[in-house]
């Protein structure tokens, strides 16, 4: 068995959780952390014989992933955080089994293949996450939200890792097939969070733990040109046009997302500005 505990945070994931759990049989431990699902998610997890933990967020720190890292007694040296719509192929299992057997790294960047409109995106901006690390070596960054978010799981917060970081090159399949309506709803919530975070934090300070790409985004996300830049970079420079209609649609919706974030930032700034009357 691969000496990794896979933690899958969920809420109402009956459409995708079966496929996710079916691909995890080679791992030493699997835990599903549920935020009060009202669909058949809990029954499906029980049928798999997987440990199910319930999480109720009080609006403060910690959120779901940090709560697990702070409170669960892990029996494996490694932990992997996986979303319910992320499917691990055998090639990924083979690689980490080989790498973890003899490594000096404390964490690993993981690579993903995004699916959009039912098609895999081979081009565009690549998705990467630091989601596999030694237990005790990392916690997700703490952001004081003061109850301005309804997202109970670390979505844009990134792990702060004390140690060396490597990379796993075999890709995880991110198969989000819930349709455009769910995609738009989710990104509306993300945009609200991004805008409030941007306004709550002075990005000139305390960004040393972020990657270069993250620093660039948060220093420019409020500028008028950033959505256009993202579309050009993803669709043209990163050859997103080679993914056909799905590639164009994905770049378009991400451009829309950054426009919405920018407008929310501008709206909040205008609301805070003192009246000149």
Domain boundary among 177, 192, 213: 177
Same-domain check for residues 167 and 229: no
**3-50 residue pLDDT tens:** 999 999 999 999 999 999 999 999 999 999 999 999 999 999 999 999
Domain boundary among 177, 195, 213: 177
pLDDT the model gives residue 198: 84
Q: For the chain, how many structural domains are there in total?
A: 2
pLDDT the model gives residue 204: 46
Mean pLDDT taken over the chain: 92
Which residue range(s) make up the domain with 40?
2-177
Percentage of residues in the chain having pLDDT higher than 90: 77
Same-domain check for residues 13 and 123: yes
Residue 274 has pLDDT above 80, yes or no: no
CA distances from 258 to 32, 35, 129, 188, 240 (A): 31, 28, 20, 10, 17
Domain boundary among 177, 208, 227: 177
Q: What is the DSSP string of 110-173?
A: EEEEEEETTEE--SSSPEEEEEEEETTSEEEPP---TT-----S-SS--EEESS-EEEEEEEEE
Instruction: Characterize 51-70 residue by residue with b for buried, 16 or more Cβ atoms within 10 angstroms of its Cβ, and e for exposed.
Output: ebeebebeeeebbbbbbbbe
Q: Span 111-118, mean pLDDT?
A: 95
User: Percentages helix, strand, coil for the chain, rounded to the nearest 5?
Assistant: 40, 25, 40
Same-domain check for residues 142 and 229: no
Confirm if 36 and 91 have CB atoms less than 8 A apart: no
Q: What angle do CA 153, 159, 165 make, to 5 degrees?
A: 145
* 44 token code pair: 């499906």
Residue 275 has pLDDT above 60, yes or no: no
Top pLDDT among 155 and 246 is at 246
Q: Is residue 277 part of a domain?
A: no
Same-domain check for residues 31 and 74: yes
């Amino acid at each position: 068995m691969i000496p990794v505990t896979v933690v899958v945070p969920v809420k109402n994931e009956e459409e995708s959780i079966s496929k996710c759990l079916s691909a995890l049989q080679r791992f030493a431990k699997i835990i599903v952390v549920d935020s009060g699902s009202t669909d058949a998610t809990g029954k499906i997890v029980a049928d798999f014989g997987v440990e199910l933990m319930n999480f109720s967020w009080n609006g403060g720190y910690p959120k779901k992933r940090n709560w697990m890292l702070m409170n669960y007694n892990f029996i494996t040296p490694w932990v992997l955080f996986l979303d319910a719509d992320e499917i691990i192929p055998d090639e990924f299992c083979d690689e980490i089994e080989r790498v973890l057997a003899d490594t000096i790294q404390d964490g690993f960047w993981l690579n993903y293949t995004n699916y959009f409109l039912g098609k895999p995106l081979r081009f565009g901006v690549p998705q990467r996450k630091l989601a596999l690390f030694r237990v005790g070596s990392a916690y997700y960054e703490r952001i004081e939200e003061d109850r301005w978010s309804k997202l109970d799981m670390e979505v844009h917060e990134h792990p702060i890792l004390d140690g060396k970081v490597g990379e796993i090159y075999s890709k995880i399949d991110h198969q989000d097939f819930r349709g455009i309506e769910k995609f738009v709803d989710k990104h509306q919530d993300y945009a609200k969070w991004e805008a409030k975070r941007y306004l709550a934090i002075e990005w000139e300070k305390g960004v040393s733990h972020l990657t270069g790409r993250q620093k660039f985004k948060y220093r420019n996300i409020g500028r008028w040109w950033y959505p256009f830049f993202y579309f050009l970079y993803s669709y043209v420079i990163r050859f997103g046009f080679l993914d056909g209609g799905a590639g164009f649609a994905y770049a378009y919706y991400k451009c829309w997302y950054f426009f919405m974030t920018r407008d929310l930032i501008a709206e909040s700034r205008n609301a805070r500005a003192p009246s000149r009357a």
